[in-house]
Amino acid sequence: MSIYLERYAWPHKLFPDYQPPENLSLIVVIPCFKEPDLIGALESLNGCDYPQGEVLVIIVINESESAPQEIKTANKTTLQQLKNYRSKYHLLISYQKLPAKKAGVGLARKVGMDEAVRIFRKAGNDGAIVCYDADCRCDANYLDEIELAYSRPETQSGIVFYEHHLHREHHEAILDYELYLRYYIDALRFAGFPYAHQTLGSCITVRASMYEKVGGMNTRKAGEDFYFLNKTIPQGGFVEINSTTIRPSDRVSDRVPFGTGKAVNDMLNDSEEYSVYHPNIFEDLKLFFSKLDIFWTEEDWKIPRTLAIFLGDEWQDQIAEVKSKVSSQEQFRKRFFHWFDAFKILKFVHFCRDEFYQNVELEEALDWLRQKHFLLNGTKESYLVQLRYLDREWKG
């Protein structure tokens, strides 16, 4: 019996009588909350080339137990639409009323992903759970390429390459937002952080056994993707599936406190130039990370003032403790980045923003990134094209 399913999973089985096919390889999990065009997202999946193994799609229509009538009506409309929908893949639909305190995208993802683990165990397979959102679109080779990635036993989790739709209605807002997302990750890669990857929920893939190993999806109302991947990526076996593309929607949304929809909404209502984290923050991180070999071989350590203040007076003791737990330089680097992980980095970035380096306009940040990554001069659109290419070709 699985300890995870017994102790930590969503306790209610969604489809206890479902008998999965023996060659089930992928389970696509779609949380659905007040979605106007779920059918469009499913049609995009239906347009995919059929992979070698069987594919199951689980839809979790969800709402809070205290949801207003507007939400209930929208979800029931979606449910009615699905009754007449014919998918070329196995399709299972669940309507969940979630506890008011925890209702949100994190719990909805968890409900579906937990059920995917149960189904894989019943099928006797350790296949891939694929996160997909109800407003996404994907390339025709989307399922094929994910299956191919997980045909390699070493693959334990991964992120699918993404490109936002750039519709004319919200063109400038979504352009700025994706540039910010890519700027942040590419700046971390410049700094030398080994686990710098995009963390969009609709891009996540994970092997069922790894999902259990890291304790499953968290129940945060937003940012569930960031926290899940922060646990998963350092475990090893993480891949970027850059040979296909997922296309998140650029629509305005107030469903979560941050994320694409919220960011687009805020930009449309803000007349000021879009600002992002100061490049000096990443220069300081680069200098800090460049000291790792010195931390291992020497005892007299110096680090940037921003990091010394952020880590506090005990920072040397903290690094010494990390060092004391390992017996090799390679182990030290790995353990160091388990300690100074993506979450600690984000806290440091916010600390610097508030105490040392004010945000700069996006254009200034892009000019810095252009120099570091040898990008060509041009418009923001051309920068995005170049950054997409750079990210798709990135090998780590």
Low-confidence spans in the chain with pLDDT less than 70: 167-168, 251-272
The residue from 272, 287, 313 where one domain ends is 272
Are 253 and 136 members of one domain? Answer: yes
Q: How many CB atoms lie within 10 A of CB 259?
A: 18
User: Residues for the chain: how many in total?
Assistant: 396
Residue 190 and residue 110 in one domain: yes
pLDDT, tens digit (0-9, with 9 covering 90-100), for 281-336: 999 999 999 999 999 998 778 999 999 999 998 899 999 999 999 999 999 999 99
| 302 Cβ neighbours under 8 A, 6+ residues apart | 291
Domain coverage including residue 190: 3-272
Q: What is the pLDDT of residue 250?
A: 75
Instruction: Please tell me what DSSP assigns to residue 392.
Output: H
Judge contact between 177 and 164, C-beta under 8 A.
yes
Radius of gyration from C-alpha coordinates of the chain: 22
Given 272, 302, 331, the domain boundary residue is 272
Which CATH number does the domain housing residue 129 bear? 3.90.550.10
Domain check: are 74 and 172 in the same one? yes
pLDDT at 168: 65
Residues 47 and 163 in one domain: yes
Decide if 25 contacts 127 (C-beta within 8 A).
yes
- In 3D, which of 230, 160, 156 has the Cα closest to residue 195? 230
Residues 202 and 301 in one domain: no
Q: Is the dihedral angle over the CA atoms 213, 217, 223, 225 positive or is it negative? A: positive
Is residue 369 a part of any domain in this protein? no
* Number of domains the chain is built from: 2
Asked whether residue 366 is assigned to any structural domain, the reply reads no
- What's the pLDDT at 180? 97
Q: Is the pTM of this model over 0.85?
A: yes
pLDDT at 376: 81
